[in-house]
Amino acid sequence: MSPLKVVHVGLGPIGLAIAEAVAGSTSVVSVAAVDPLLSGRDLGELLGGPATGVTVTAELDEALAGRQTDVALHCTGSQLARVEDQLHALIGRGLSVVSTCEELSWPWFHHPDEAQRLDTAAKAAGVRLLGTGVNPGFVMDLLPVVLSGVAARVDSVVVHRVVDASTRRLPLQAKVGAGSSEAEFRERAARGALGHMGLVESVAMIAAGLGWGVDEIHQALDPVLADAPIRGAAIAVEAGQVRGLHQVATGSIGGQRKITLDLVMALGAESPGDTVVLEGVPPLEARVAGGIHGDIATVAAVVKALPRIGRVRPGLLSVLDLPAAAARSESEI
């Protein structure tokens, strides 16, 4: 089979990491790239290697001109309202899209109008649109749904994820509010300027995966304060300042809490790891000690989705629609 030809849209840290993974594959090839901040640069040189002849452009039409392209790898934003026009532009050019937009992972509950528009457009164009990553996309949604496949009955779902942000990239440390005062944290949280995106989408995905008609989803966000100075890879935090966040999203049916997603991302977070607890018959608990690495897993989730989206119907998809992924050799996806 001929390699899938992809255009990269957005070359921030994750977008570049995805491009690097594609560069090591024999079944996918990068043919174009779009990022206004890097316009004119060669993609290969941006990845620290030799020039490839793929020049980053500022505009999509310029990137696609004269090139056959199959799939867009979209990494520009977390909020669906801010990227919907970009997605329609890609769909309108006959491209399937795999995106890291967190709110696209399960938009039907909180963004039904946008979901309907995108689904209609993708079906009309005969292409697929998927939002995926590690969280949302795996740890706190797909993993508990898959685990439920060996339970006779599930009564409730609790997922705990603890991430030590001290060694993570600067954008994540900034996203969790590291280095700010408690007052600054709460002000920014109130206007949606920090916090983990996609937790409420994960609640809705679990509910759908288990066939539950969840009717209420709530979210709370609080700072985690430093007792002593602590330094991350990019940010130094003094005692009393914020070193991260504690975010909880819950889903209820008829006033009864059925789903609880508990997330801590902080510099120096104690006992990092991912734990899924299903109460039911039998009760089940699974833990990944140390936790699943967010950046590595996000890149893998996006790249491994490429050969699988073509096996399912056109339209707006979620990871629940795809066949299971598996690890393969470095040169394959």
Express each pLDDT in 231-279 by its tens digit. 877 788 999 999 999 999 999 999 999 999 999 999 999 999 999 999 9
Distance of CA 228 to the CA centre of its chain: 32
> What rounded mean pLDDT belongs to the chain?
94
Neighbouring C-alpha atoms within 13 Å toward the C-beta of 99: 30
Q: 330: pLDDT confidence band, cut at 50, 70 and 90? A: very low
CA distances (Å), 303 to each of 25, 72, 279, in order? 10, 11, 33
User: How much is the average pLDDT of 192-200?
Assistant: 92
Rounded mean pLDDT, 180-203: 94
Contact, 91 vs 125, CB < 8 A?
yes
Buried b (16+ CB within 10 A) or exposed e, 249-263: bbbbeeeeebbbbbb
User: Is residue 133 over pLDDT 50?
Assistant: yes
- CA–CA distance, 35 with 77 (Å, rounded to integer): 12
C-beta of residue 23 within 8 angstroms of C-beta of residue 49: yes
Is the separation of the CB atoms in 277 and 284 below 8 Å? yes
> Greatest CA separation found in the chain?
59
CATH pick for 142-292 out of 3.30.2010, 3.30.360, 3.40.630, 3.40.390: 3.30.360
Pinpoint the residues of the chain covered by CATH 3.30.360.
142-292
Please list the residue range(s) of the chain that carry CATH number 3.40.50.720.
4-133+296-321
Fold of 4-133+296-321: Rossmann fold (3.40.50)
The verdict on pTM exceeding 0.85 is yes
